[in-house]
Structure formats: C-alpha cells, structure tokens
C-alpha cells in the first residue's frame, strides 16, 4: 500500500493460510518446515512476496508463499499494522477480507477461514489493534524511540518497542518456522520506502534474534524499489499474482477498485516484479 505520510500502526492479525497445515508441520521433517511472513500491511505480501511459482528454481530463490501452500507446507502471515490509513474499521476490516480473498484464489485451497485467538506470551494476537487516534503513533517513531508506546486501535493494548519486539519473537517461537520472510531490512529510513515497511522489517529482524530453536533462513524482500528493476514475473507466475491481487483490490478502495483497473498506478509496476534483497541461514542455538 503506498500511502504518505506513514500509515499508522494498527493491529496484528494472524492468518493461518490453511488451517490443516500447522498439524503437518508438527508431524513433518525439518526439510518441509514452516515459513513465517511478517509484513506491515495487508497488501504487502501480495505485492512484494507472495505469488511466485517456483518453476524448478532452486538454491538462491526461496520458495514463496504460494508454493508453500501448494506444496502442503505450513505458512503463516502476520500483519503488524491494521493498514487503517487513518480510516475506520470498515476500511481495514475490508483489507483483511481482501487478504482472505487473495489467499483463496489459489488452486486446490478451500476458502474456509476460522478466526481464532493465539495467546503469545500472555497476549491475545488475533487482533492487536493500535489506536489510530494517537496522533503521533507510527511504527517508525516507536522503532526510533521518538514515542515510547503505541496503542491498539481498540485501545485494548499498549506496546513499547521492547514489548512489540518480544511479541513478535513470541509469534516466531510459537510457530518455529524454518523460513522467515520479511520486508526489506537492508534499507534505511528515508530511502524512499514506506516507513512502515522498513519499521516492520527492522522489528522482524530484531525479533528473530530471540529465536534460536531451529535452523532457519531469514529472507528480505524488496518493496517500492522493485519499480526500478526489470520485470521478472511472467506467464503463470504473473497470472497467479495478478489473480490474487484482483481478488484483494475489490476490498481495498484505495488500490485498483472493482473491477480492478491498476492502469497508471504503482500497483501495475509492482505486480510483475518480485525481488529478494537478502537471505541468511541461521543455525539453531545462534542468533
């Protein structure tokens, strides 16, 4: 979601992309381990991470969310903000509905969603909404220590930087993934990327330091800067990403509308591109 100034922090929502899959993780081998994707907004995974078919690619190209689900691997996506953009609940709840619609475009995936509450370190995680009435609340300010706390949109929770980091660590430890996908933590504030994207990625990078249980890979994905890169999605890869995006955009009035028409918008540039910026293997027991 391209919005300036920064979208305010709002909520954390957990989506188990397929309810049955976590069970598979617990029974499965490490080689088919789980992945955890943590992004700022409801459309960031769709635009910048998700829908790349692997098409025989190996090694340097990590399997993406689409492939994980198709392959029966467990995957979970966390949105650190509600993506409320200073609008009300109808808007950001709509974005959540868009995410569910997008995930449900995948072949052989049943559109059946169960909403549950995960208790991570004593915190209920289904909706950690940060209150958008706090005028200066932003992930960047929290990350940089310019504000000491940030509140959920329903006022039910307040987080310090350390508490939000600890919550994310708790989410990671709880899921024990072998692959964590994040937004681009190789960037710096002011580099042209959305401050929420950067803040979310820094929080994830920091939070992962507290996760030492299993071997894992942490991969970061390029965001707006993909615009300057060559198109690298086509054919089935592009079709599946477009299909998912079109399902989402019907629910997010600030994107391409319904029927979808991204002509002249940045979305049209981002959709046929997908780049990673780093990928690091971390051994269990190290940080």
User: Strand, coil or helix: what is 225?
Assistant: helix
User: Looking at beta carbons only, is 14 or 153 nearer to ligand NAG?
Assistant: 153
Distance of CA 236 to the CA centre of its chain: 22
Distance (Å, whole) CA 282 – CA 212 = 8
- Shortest approach of ligand NAG to residue 70 CB, angstroms? 5
- Shortest approach of ligand NAG to residue 144 CB, angstroms? 23
User: Looking at beta carbons only, is 88 or 213 nearer to ligand NAG?
Assistant: 88
User: Looking at beta carbons only, is 135 or 264 nearer to ligand NAG?
Assistant: 264
User: Interface with ligand NAG by CB under 6 A: which residues?
Assistant: 52, 57, 61, 70, 107-108, 131-133, 153-155, 232-233, 237, 261, 263-264, 274-276
User: Looking at beta carbons only, is 175 or 185 nearer to ligand NAG?
Assistant: 185
- Shortest approach of ligand NAG to residue 140 CB, angstroms? 20
Tokens, residue 27: 């029974």
Where residue 101 falls (left for φ over 0; alpha for ψ -120 to 50; beta otherwise) is alpha
Q: What are phi and psi of 44, to 5 degrees?
A: -65, -40
- Shortest approach of ligand NAG to residue 270 CB, angstroms? 13
Q: What number of other Cβ atoms are within 10 A of residue 156's Cβ?
A: 13
- Shortest approach of ligand NAG to residue 228 CB, angstroms? 12
User: Looking at beta carbons only, is 209 or 232 nearer to ligand NAG?
Assistant: 232
Q: Is the dihedral of CA 158, 92, 20, 219 positive or negative?
A: negative
């Amino acid at each position: 979601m391209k919005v300036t100034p920064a979208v305010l922090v709002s909520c954390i929502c957990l989506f188990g992309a397929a309810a049955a899959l976590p069970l598979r993780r617990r029974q499965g081998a490490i080689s088919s381990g789980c992945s955890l994707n943590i992004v700022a907004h409801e459309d960031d995974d769709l635009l910048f991470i998700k829908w790349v078919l692997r098409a025989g690619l190996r090694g340097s190209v990590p399997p993406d969310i689409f492939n994980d689900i198709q392959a029966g691997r467990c995957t979970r996506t966390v949105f650190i903000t509600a993506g409320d953009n200073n609008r009300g609940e109808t808007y950001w709840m709509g974005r959540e509905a868009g995410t569910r619609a997008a995930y449900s475009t995948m072949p052989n995936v049943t559109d059946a969603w169960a909403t549950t509450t995960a208790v991570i370190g004593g915190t209920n995680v289904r909706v950690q909404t940060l209150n958008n009435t706090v005028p200066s609340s932003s992930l960047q300010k929290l990350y940089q220590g310019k504000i000491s706390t940030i509140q959920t949109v329903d006022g039910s929770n307040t987080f310090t930087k350390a508490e939000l980091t600890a919550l994310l660590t708790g989410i990671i430890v709880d899921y024990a993934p072998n692959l964590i996908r994040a937004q681009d933590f190789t960037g710096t504030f002011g580099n042209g990327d959305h401050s929420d994207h950067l803040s979310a990625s820094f929080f994830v990078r920091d939070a992962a330091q507290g996760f030492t249980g299993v071997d894992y890979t942490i991969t970061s994905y390029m965001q707006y800067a993909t615009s300057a890169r060559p198109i690298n999605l086509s054919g089935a890869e592009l079709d599946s990403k477009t299909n998912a995006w079109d399902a989402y955009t019907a629910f997010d009035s600030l994107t391409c509308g319904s029927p979808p028409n991204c002509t002249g918008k940045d979305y049209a540039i981002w959709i046929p591109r997908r780049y990673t910026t780093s990928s690091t293997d971390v051994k269990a027991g190290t940080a």
